[in-house]
Amino acid sequence: MVYDDKDVRSVLASDGRLVESWWPAGTAALVGPSSLNVLPQPRQAQVKAPFLRALGERAIAARARAVARAMDAVLAAWADAQAAAAPGAGGGGPGPAAAAVLGGVAASKQALPLCDLLASATFNAALFGAAASDDASEASAAAAPPSAAAAAAPQLPAPEAAAFLSECLERGRLAADLAGGFLPPMIDLPFTAYSRALRARRALLSKYASELAAARARRSGGGGGGGAGAGGAADALVRAAEGAGVSDGELLDGLVACLFGNVGAGPTFVKLFQHLEPTGSDGGGGGGGWWAALRDEQRRVVAARGAALGAAALEGMPVTEAVAREALRITPVVPAIFRLATQDFELRGRRIPKGWRVWCHTGSGVLKYNADEFDPSRWLRGDAAAADSPAPDGGGGGGGCPMAAAAAAAAGDEGAGSPFGQGARACVGRPLMLLQLKLLLALLARRYTWRFEGGSAGPAEPWVVVPAPRPEMGLAGFVLERAAEADAIPIDLSGGDEDVGL
Ligand code: HEM
């Protein structure tokens, strides 16, 4: 086991020379023999190149509006479904068709299923587009210009939202089935989780093959596959793969690997609901004052740039960014990365013999599960931008001194570990994950609130690591609500992909 971050970095940097990726045959069969996770070097790097282009920071930023709309469709329908199920509810409300799709899951009053659905929706919106929704939402936005009042209305028309949510629910179930196959016994018999995972993989491959075919049809001007705004990163992937000698099998397994990576998004979102509860008992607006700080930041952003929530708006959100990074640091959802030593080598004077398995921990947070402090200010100390947005406890704000910034960055790095890995096999989903977290925080701060009821553990609920990192009871007692109109901060989610200088 390797704990120290510098050592972890040096082991991961030696991929293809001293170590290689290690996946038992059963799990490798689930992500696929040609998936990025299992391909050996140098082939892995060749196949990864188009994924890095299609999912890179700017390419993904261009999808911000589509991702935000998908998230909002989920949040609005979830809040409406819970409101409709509440004792004495009159029913109805905006988006009843979409809310009805989620009725069963929302009734569980756990944050985890909502977060898994958010992860599924954002993944599909970023990679494949939200079908006809991009066009439809532009039409609805034109009919009703954005305002605080309009913030209470769904920006996806109900039928499109319902169809989109239902497909995301199904794909979310397939993702869960796939992830559920990673535990022993890995025996392919009809009633085993492993067999269910293999079936899920086949179903996903078939969906992704259709998505790639639709992307190619759009590229050759033949239309196909879901209307304007459809496509997303898959279109860029098809473009980047052309002439790169990457087979369809490698693209499809790569997409399954991406979906598998995205399974970490749901539990990461859960941490936001757990650590930022708006109605917390601390009197500071919840979450140690961070909830209030997030809302203040959104008000500032709207005052400076208007209500549009897209790539440009996300640039000016240091507090939001700090909270997102802290959510990635604490209770890491990928606690360790596995490698196999392909030859003898030394690490800090200790010999690692060829054939040994090397476990690299992704950060110090791994050693502090359930005993760690959620403290986003570690990401603001020394940040010049933080001077405008002081940490709620009065800390932070190093006045922009370059020395303070450098020291803080070093300290931050150390605390952060490597949640997305390092080196040749580092996560291709990092930009998408950060985008998802920042958009979710902005959306929540502008137009939602939540509470925990029923005397369950709520925000104090402990996390388990096995079979996968998650709150023990799914973060129980969770109720999401639309913010009261007087509290809502204006938001505009209309528009297609943004030009971010690609
Ligand atoms: C909280 C969320 C996430 C965490 C903590 C995370 C973490 C990681 C880590 C640690 C690795 C390196 C594995 C290794 O070195 O063997 C990795 C690889 C990978 N991740 Fe993520 N990931 C997340 C989200 C995502 C998302 C959203 C995607 C979707 C695009 C994704 C796609 C991938 C892929 C395809 C790889 C394999 C890369 C390769 O082998 O070259 N991940 N991830």
Angstrom CA distances, 100 to 75, 93, 385, 472, 489, stand at 13, 11, 43, 27, 26
Of the CATH numbers 1.10.630.10, 3.40.50.2300, 3.40.50.970, 3.30.70.150, which one belongs to the domain with range 34-330+427-487? 1.10.630.10
Q: How far is CA 258 from the centre of its chain?
A: 11
Q: What span, in angstroms and rounded, lies between the C-alpha atoms of 319 and 440?
A: 13
- Ligand 1 pocket check for 432: Cβ under 6 Å: yes
Element (H, E) at 119: helix 111-128
- Ligand 1 pocket check for 337: Cβ under 6 Å: yes
Between 11 and 406, name the one with better pLDDT. Answer: 11
Atom of ligand 1 nearest to the CA of 328: 1
With a cut of 50, say whether residue 150 has pLDDT above it: no
For residues 329-335, average pLDDT: 93
Confidence at residue 78, expressed as pLDDT on a 0 to 100 scale: 94
Counting ligand 1 atoms within 8 A of each CB, the residue from 15, 237, 329, 427 with the most, and so the one to mutate, is: 427
With a cut of 50, say whether residue 93 has pLDDT above it: no
- Min mean pLDDT across 75-84, 308-317, 437-446, 450-459 is at 450-459
Atom of ligand 1 nearest to the CA of 39: 40
Which residues neighbour 17 within 8 Å (Cβ) at sequence distance 6 or greater?
A: 342
Neighbours of 266 (CB within 10 A): 24
For residues 297-316, average pLDDT: 94
Confidence at residue 130, expressed as pLDDT on a 0 to 100 scale: 60
- Ligand 1 pocket check for 21: Cβ under 6 Å: yes
With a cut of 90, say whether residue 318 has pLDDT above it: yes
Comparing CA positions, the residue from 56, 21, 14 lying closest to residue 36 is 21
Between 149 and 218, name the one with better pLDDT. Answer: 218
> Residue 427, annotated ligand binder?
yes
Distance 287 CA to ligand 1 centre (A): 28
Confidence of residue 147 (pLDDT cuts 50, 70, 90): very low
- Ligand 1 pocket check for 419: Cβ under 6 Å: yes
With a cut of 80, say whether residue 152 has pLDDT above it: no
Confidence at residue 286, expressed as pLDDT on a 0 to 100 scale: 62
Token match 């060749």: residue? 46
- Min mean pLDDT across 270-279, 337-346, 382-391 is at 382-391
Q: And the tokens for 176?
A: 């869960």
Confidence at residue 125, expressed as pLDDT on a 0 to 100 scale: 94
Among protein residues, the one whose CA lies closest to atom 35 of ligand 1 = 258
What is residue 257's three-state secondary structure? helix
Distance 352 CA to ligand 1 centre (A): 26
Between 303 and 93, name the one with better pLDDT. Answer: 303
With a cut of 90, say whether residue 345 has pLDDT above it: yes
- Ligand 1 pocket check for 324: Cβ under 6 Å: no
Confidence of residue 161 (pLDDT cuts 50, 70, 90): confident
- Ligand 1 pocket check for 427: Cβ under 6 Å: yes
Distance 433 CA to ligand 1 centre (A): 9
- Ligand 1 pocket check for 14: Cβ under 6 Å: no
For residues 219-235, average pLDDT: 66
Q: What percent of the chain has pLDDT over 70?
A: 81
Distance 428 CA to ligand 1 centre (A): 6
Q: And the tokens for 501?
A: 């200088």
Confidence at residue 190, expressed as pLDDT on a 0 to 100 scale: 85
Four-residue CA torsion sign, 348, 349, 352, 354:
positive
Q: What values do phi and psi take at 434, rounded to 5?
A: -65, -40
Distance 37 CA to ligand 1 centre (A): 9
pLDDT in tens, 229-265: 457 899 999 999 998 999 999 999 999 999 999 999 9
Q: Locate the domains of the chain by residue range.
A: 34-330+427-487
Atom of ligand 1 nearest to the CA of 425: 41
- Min mean pLDDT across 335-344, 391-400, 442-451 is at 391-400
For residues 123-127, average pLDDT: 95
Strand extents, DSSP E, 239-355: 336-341, 345-347, 350-352
Among protein residues, the one whose CA lies closest to atom 7 of ligand 1 = 420
- Ligand 1 pocket check for 431: Cβ under 6 Å: no
Q: pTM above 0.85?
A: yes
Confidence at residue 95, expressed as pLDDT on a 0 to 100 scale: 56
- Ligand 1 pocket check for 201: Cβ under 6 Å: no
- Ligand 1 pocket check for 333: Cβ under 6 Å: yes
Among protein residues, the one whose CA lies closest to atom 19 of ligand 1 = 427
For residues 459-464, average pLDDT: 92
Side chain identity at residue 280, one-letter code:
G
Side chain identity at residue 15, one-letter code:
D
Confidence at residue 225, expressed as pLDDT on a 0 to 100 scale: 45
Comparing CA positions, the residue from 124, 152, 155 lying closest to residue 137 is 155
Confidence at residue 131, expressed as pLDDT on a 0 to 100 scale: 41
Atom of ligand 1 nearest to the CA of 51: 35
List the Cα angle 416/417/422 in 5-degree steps.
125
Q: What span, in angstroms and rounded, lies between the C-alpha atoms of 115 and 269?
A: 6
Confidence of residue 129 (pLDDT cuts 50, 70, 90): confident
Distance 496 CA to ligand 1 centre (A): 27
Among protein residues, the one whose CA lies closest to atom 17 of ligand 1 = 427
- Ligand 1 pocket check for 181: Cβ under 6 Å: no
Output the average pLDDT for the chain: 83
For residues 184-188, average pLDDT: 83
- Ligand 1 pocket check for 480: Cβ under 6 Å: no
Confidence at residue 230, expressed as pLDDT on a 0 to 100 scale: 57
- Ligand 1 pocket check for 311: Cβ under 6 Å: no
For residues 186-203, average pLDDT: 92
Confidence at residue 146, expressed as pLDDT on a 0 to 100 scale: 32
Atom of ligand 1 nearest to the CA of 257: 35
Contact 377, 391 (CB under 8 A): yes
Token match 């096995």: residue? 466
Please list the residues that pair with 450 across neighbouring strands.
Answer: 480
With a cut of 60, say whether residue 223 has pLDDT above it: no
DSSP 38-73: TPPTTHHHHHHHHHHHHTSHHHHHTTHHHHHHHHHH
- Ligand 1 pocket check for 48: Cβ under 6 Å: yes
Among protein residues, the one whose CA lies closest to atom 43 of ligand 1 = 427
pLDDT in tens, 12-32: 999 989 999 988 888 899 999
Q: What percent of the chain has pLDDT over 90?
A: 63
pLDDT in tens, 162-179: 888 999 999 999 999 999
